[in-house]
Amino acid sequence: TGNNPIRVETCSGVISLEIDEHKRVKVDMGSPYLEPTEIPFVADQRATTYELEADGQVLEVSAVSMGNPHVVLQVDNVDTAPVESLGPTLEAHPRFPKRVNVGFMQIIDRQRFRLRVFERGVGETLACGSGACAAMVAGVQRGLLDADATAELKGGELSLNWQGEGHPVIMTGPATTVFEGQVRI
């Protein structure tokens, strides 16, 4: 509602959001957690990318937490990425003791990327805000994305901004009603 942010309490803390004149929601998603112990991820030390063995291959991945753990894997094409087979394998990888959301990221250019997310305990989702933020952080850290970029997901597009370590990820996207109902208690 303009300049009056709405504060929402989540399991990971309080987030602030604003609704702009185009009815797009701007959310301060907080700063990413990059230390392996904070993700949690088993690693000897913090790095921009890690080698991870899965399905008989060694993958180069990024590990990020946005209040929930994410692993981001760069792929040539999200349409042909092995989301259904590699997603469950990585979700349950022993180096992620609390399991992990798996992002398959295709870089289009420095301001745009495509993303598919295999969400832990759920499977592939149409959209994942925290997954888009984690992919943005991974892309910026790897030098593949600028501080402002757009994520294309099956469920729509999100505008993202991350100015680097110590700064929050700002996510802006449309908000629509997807369900109304009543619960009898």
3-state secondary structure 28-61: ECCCCECCHHHCCCCCCCCCCCEEEEECCEEEEE
pLDDT at 10: 67
The residues, any chain, with a CB within 8 Å of residue 164's CB and separated by 6 or more, are: 140, 147
Domains in the chain with CATH codes: 31-159 (3.10.310.10)
Which pLDDT tens digit goes with each residue over 51-67? 999 999 999 999 999 99
Q: What is the pLDDT of residues 17-52, one digit of tens each?
A: 788 888 889 999 999 999 999 999 999 999 999 999
Distances (CA, A) of 102 to 1, 44, 88, 178: 33, 21, 8, 24
> pLDDT tens, 83-138?
999 999 999 999 999 999 999 999 999 999 999 999 999 999 999 999 999 999 99
| CB 140, CB 148: distance < 8 Å | no
Peptide linkage before 168 cis (omega within 30 of 0)? no
